[in-house]
Chain A
Amino acid sequence: MSGKNTDMRTPLARVRGLGSAREGTGHFWRQRLTAIANIPLILFFVGFLIALNGADHEHVRAALANPFVALVMALVLISGLTHMRIGMQVIIEDYVHGEGMKLALIALNTFFTIAVGVASIFALLKLAFGG
């Protein structure tokens, strides 16, 4: 290792590698993990929609109420929404440089993600528990 006298970090900080924002590579890593998880999950979702194309309400309700489908759909939503929230934050951080505007948009990004997630998962639970 070069410059062993120039590193200002404590040994603990160096081991944790979390950087000044205390997040380290957390976002980067979660973005990759959800990207990998998204591949089978999105393929399931697309296949499910193909199978249901043109189906009537009763049919669609019954399909979504199936415990396996409901469970995987919940995973599709959680993985997809986590992934897109981090992705959008990266886009905001790339293009928006005013500190106030950046914070406002990052907050809006979180609100949007939670709103879509809560509405979707509530609908799924309602169908799964026969509402």
Chain B
Amino acid sequence: MSKSPATREFARRERPISPHLTVYRPPITMTMSIIHRITGGALYFGTLLVALWLMAAASSQATFDWANWAFGTWLGRIILFGYTWALMHHMLGGVRHLIWDTGAGLEKHTASKIAWATLAGSILLTLLIWIAGTMARGA
């Protein structure tokens, strides 16, 4: 094999193995894609809570009061708050996917902007839902 001097020079140089995991910062689009899958998986198991709530409502007063109490504890609220965020983030991420399916919004910088927007939007919607919920409770 005859290699050009330039190629030989390039091969001799020490090059990083890419992507170098300890210094590699994933692009926001990649992070959001992973989060879309994780939130989808969390929502999957969270449907157990929906089933539990409906079954409690359909059974006795005591069972319903127990479920209400459980959802109202600090642990219950943290789980429900997380579930709200997962749902909102997955929904906005899903809309992003549906837009991509049309072929729009795939340009690198546009995609990054949309990715940040889904994160900001999901946090905003989650807070609004909980504020509205608190107001409904107070009324």
Contact = CB atoms under 8 A, between A and B. Distances in A.
B58 A46 contact: no
B75 interface: no
A120 B91 contact: no
Given A35-B98, A39-B95, A119 B41 contact: no
Contact of B101 (A32, A87, A120, A131): A32
Interface residues of A, number: 33
Interface stretch (B24-32, B46-54, B104-112): B46-54
B87 interface: yes
13 contacts: A32-B98, A38-B91, A39-B91, A50-B136, A57-B61, A64-B54, A64-B57, A84-B43, A116-B48, A116-B51, A120-B47, A120-B55, A127-B58
Interface of A: 32, 35-36, 38-39, 42, 46, 49-54, 57, 60-61, 64, 77, 80-81, 84, 87-88, 91, 116, 119-120, 122-124, 126-127, 131
List 4 tightest A-B contacts by C-beta distance, closest first. A54-B137, A123-B58, A123-B54, A57-B64
Interface of B: 37, 40-41, 43-44, 47-48, 50-51, 54-55, 57-58, 61, 64-65, 68, 84, 87, 91, 94-95, 97-98, 101, 129, 132-134, 136-137
